[in-house]
Amino acid sequence: MNNTPTPHIGAKYGEIAETVIMAGDPLRAKFMAERYLENPVLFNQVRGMLGFTGTYKGRRVSVMGHGIGIPSIALYTYELYNFYGVQTIIRIGSAGSYDKELHLGDLVLAQGACTDSNFAAQYNLPGTFAPIADFGLLRTAVETCERLGYRYKVGNVLSSDVFYSDRPQVDSWMKMGVLAVEMEAAALYMNAARAGKRAMAMFTVSDHLLTGEATTSEQRQNTFTHMMDVALSLI
């Protein structure tokens, strides 16, 4: 299990904390490390996927990018769980809202992650697997949102393989109560389940599929701090 560095992560074993907070955008990880962590040390810059380890209120934690889409997050989280001894991965990302009560800046805590991906086929299961969050992490995230007064909803998200869809099916997912769409949580939850580890994904609503509201790329990188506060409460 000490086959490190890997082809994708340049850290040596022990340079990454047991809890890793991950963002799709490596610059969001950099922003978080510089804003929140004490003495952050860069442990990875292979392919520009920045990763840092430091401390937060005396507790050791790492933050790292994971890129866009299920193949990308699946690769990085597999290596973190299986080669670096990581026990917990918390994804912080942006999502498009399907819910009329969720607005820009609100948080979505992903209790489960539906997907149109074929990622689960590799497990050769005799049915459909339901990727879910670790309940302890989810419960603490809810308690933190309540304590800090952050607007949030808990429920299902869609981890889609397609950003620019030729056949958008918003109504199909909405009628099943899916709150928002993103592109990675299902693979994170499946990798965690297979490795016997913990995972939790949470999102800031960056755009709304019903109203057309949207944030800028700069806002997504530098202003989605509420979910960072919540993620840090889980370490």
Active site residues: 207
Cα separation, 158 vs 70, whole angstroms = 12
Cα separation, 144 vs 147, whole angstroms = 5
CA 12 → CA 5, 73, 89, 167, distances in Å?
5, 20, 18, 44
Name the DSSP letter for residue 121: G
Phi/psi class of residue 105: alpha, beta or left (left: φ > 0; alpha: ψ in -120 to 50)?
Answer: left
Residue keyed to tokens 């800090």: 148
CA 117 → CA 146, 166, 185, distances in Å?
33, 16, 11
Cα separation, 112 vs 122, whole angstroms = 20
By three-state DSSP, how is residue 97 classified?
strand
Residue keyed to tokens 């000490």: 2
Residue keyed to tokens 């199909």: 172
